Amino acid sequence: MIDWIIRFVKGAIVGIGAILPGLSGGVLTVIFGIYDPLIRFLADIRKDFVKNVRYFLPIGIGVAVGILLFSTVVSAAFGKYQAQFVCLFIGFVLGTFPSLFKKAGLKGRNGKHYVIMFVTAILLFLLLLSGQQVLTNVQPNFLVWIGSGAIFAFGFIVPGLSPSNFLIYFGLYDKMADGIKNLDFGVLIPLAIGAVLCILLFAKLMAFLFDRYYSGMYHFIIAIFPAVVFPAFTAEGLAASGLSFIGSLAFCLILLIIGIIISWQFGKLEERVESQKAAEI
């Protein structure tokens, strides 16, 4: 039962991360050790079907609950404190980074992999600094929501991709969140269609890349860091949140520490469960 709850909580955090701008549900699945088995399951659904369904059922429920619950607070909390709350998830990443780095080196690492990691981090940082505001304002319709669902699913298949950022660029993020919150099937159904189509088309490709380039792929992933906190300290960000620079900094630090503590404790609990299962075997 504890293992079931752990997988449910993991799924809920992944769901929240998937809908939170600046984060990627795919990175969180890697951090929580879900990504590899998920991609292999999706790449060959018929293999160990019942076993995989039993394993991923609590994760799937958690993802749905996380997305649904978090969509209700997107407008309220993240309208004013979006950048600050990203720090909570940065804390989640920091708390699990040591185990993720260890996992990246399971099949060996060399100088090339460190280069991949640092070059990726630098390029993403430069991209972040040169990022622009909303690029356009797409009017939603059935086909647009199918495309949005595909983009959303890419966040799970391609770790590091933040689909919410793209939806913000196209002016669709708040509309999607409202549709999920209100259980609007005119939004939910095409989103689901787009997500399923994307997963079926690209899961095998990602499974191939991880089989062929395991170390390189993992070192690429761990370089992708959710650092979209700079808007919290701009004049516009401070005015929108109603916080002073010191207040915004303190808020970010508190959420960062909370995220690290939760992630660290969660990791310890998971280690105990895995040790118990190994002892039983």
Dihedral over Cα of 102, 105, 109, 113: its sign: negative
Dump pLDDT digits (tens) for 88-124.
767 776 777 777 787 788 888 899 999 998 888 888 7
Write the DSSP assignment of 225-276 as a string of letters: ---TTGGGGSHHHHHHHT--HHHHHHHHHHHHHHHHHHHHHHHHHHHHHHHH
Write the DSSP assignment of 107-145 as a string of letters: T---HHHHHHHHHHHHHHHHHHHT--S----PPP-HHHH
112-130 b/e with 16+ CB inside 10 Å = b?
ebeebbeebbeeeeeeeee
pLDDT at 218: 79
Backbone torsions φ then ψ of 137, nearest 5 degrees: -135, 90
CB of 243 closer than 8 Å to CB of 106:
no
Number of structural domains found in the chain? 1
Greatest Cα-to-Cα distance within the chain, rounded to the nearest angstrom? 58
Domain hosting 25: range is 2-280
pLDDT at 275: 67
pLDDT at 145: 93
Q: What is the dihedral of CA 242, 246, 250, 251, to 10 degrees?
A: 10
pLDDT at 267: 64
Specify the pTM: 0.62
pLDDT at 23: 64
pLDDT lower than 50: segments of the chain: 132-135
Residue with tokens 């890697």: 30
pLDDT at 189: 94
